[in-house]
Amino acid sequence: MNTYIENLQWRYATKKFDATKKIADEDLKNLLESMRLTASSYGLQPYHIFVITDPEIRKKLQPVSWGQTQIVDASHLVVIANKTQVDANWIDGYLTNVSETRNIPLEALNAYADFMKSKVLALSPEEQDVWASKQNYLVLGNLLSAAAELKIDTCPMEGFEAEAYNDILGLSKKGLNASLVAAIGYRSSEDETQHYAKVRQPESELFTHL
């Protein structure tokens, strides 16, 4: 656990990446697996994750990302897009997966299916969008922690134009909305931010024990 805490101390929101350094395939595989294994509400995983290396696509995304250089310089760009609508078919597909993975008769999950549908399908489109987008932050948190364990740098971003991302990546027609972006790779020696002391609230102010 001490190493884990040390790695969290080591990580920071990298402002300048070394464009010559690329993440090894095995490390990338582990990062993707950390995102795949992330907890989500009901286990529904109402999102899709895009891993972008195509330089032409990234050049198009940079101007709608406040011009940030991380978009084009990082080894990989991760875009986490939430589903704009979770319908009965999505829930049924998840339960089929549960049935097959755990060797449980599908009909034995009917009560759980009805419960989930009564909660999720009752949400308005706006409420569903908010609910689904919140799940993306869990994915992002796992990515940041796993990357720190591998000494891979990250920069989580909300500074981008979601509608433009949706247009460039064709997300809207897939029922998706870009809600979070993370640049991943290796810090440049010229990034002065890496030398800044980490600023967080002290334990005495952040936590209340009851």
Within the chain, strands assigned E span 47-52, 76-83, 153-157, 176-185
User: What confidence tens digit (pLDDT) does each residue in 131-183 have?
Assistant: 999 999 999 999 999 999 999 999 999 999 999 999 999 999 999 999 999 99
Within 15-116, strands assigned E span 47-52, 76-83
Distances (CA, A) of 160 to 36, 148, 153: 24, 24, 20
Dihedral sign, Cα of residue 54, residue 60, residue 61, residue 63: positive
What per-residue confidence (pLDDT) applies to 48?
98
CB of 35 closer than 8 Å to CB of 49: yes
Q: Tell me how far apart the alpha carbons of residues 60 and 181 are, in angstroms, rounded to a whole number.
A: 14
DSSP state of 176: E
Q: Tell me how far apart the alpha carbons of residues 133 and 162 are, in angstroms, rounded to a whole number.
A: 12
What per-residue confidence (pLDDT) applies to 1?
80
What per-residue confidence (pLDDT) applies to 123?
96
CB of 169 closer than 8 Å to CB of 48: no
Q: What is the pTM of this model?
A: 0.96
What does each of the 210 residues of the chain score in pLDDT, given as a tens digit?
889 999 999 999 999 999 999 999 999 999 999 999 999 999 999 999 999 999 999 999 999 999 999 999 999 999 999 999 999 999 999 999 999 999 999 999 999 999 999 999 999 999 999 999 999 999 999 999 999 999 999 999 999 999 999 999 999 999 999 999 999 999 999 999 999 999 999 999 999 999
Q: How wide is the angle at C-alpha 184 spanned by C-alphas 42 and 56, nearest 5°? A: 105
What per-residue confidence (pLDDT) applies to 185?
98
Q: What is the dihedral of CA 196, 198, 204, 208, to 10 degrees?
A: 150
End-to-end, the C-alpha distance of the chain in Å comes to 25
Specify the long-range contacts of residues 56-61, CB closer than 8 Å, at least 24 apart.
57/168, 57/169, 60/168, 61/160, 61/165, 61/168
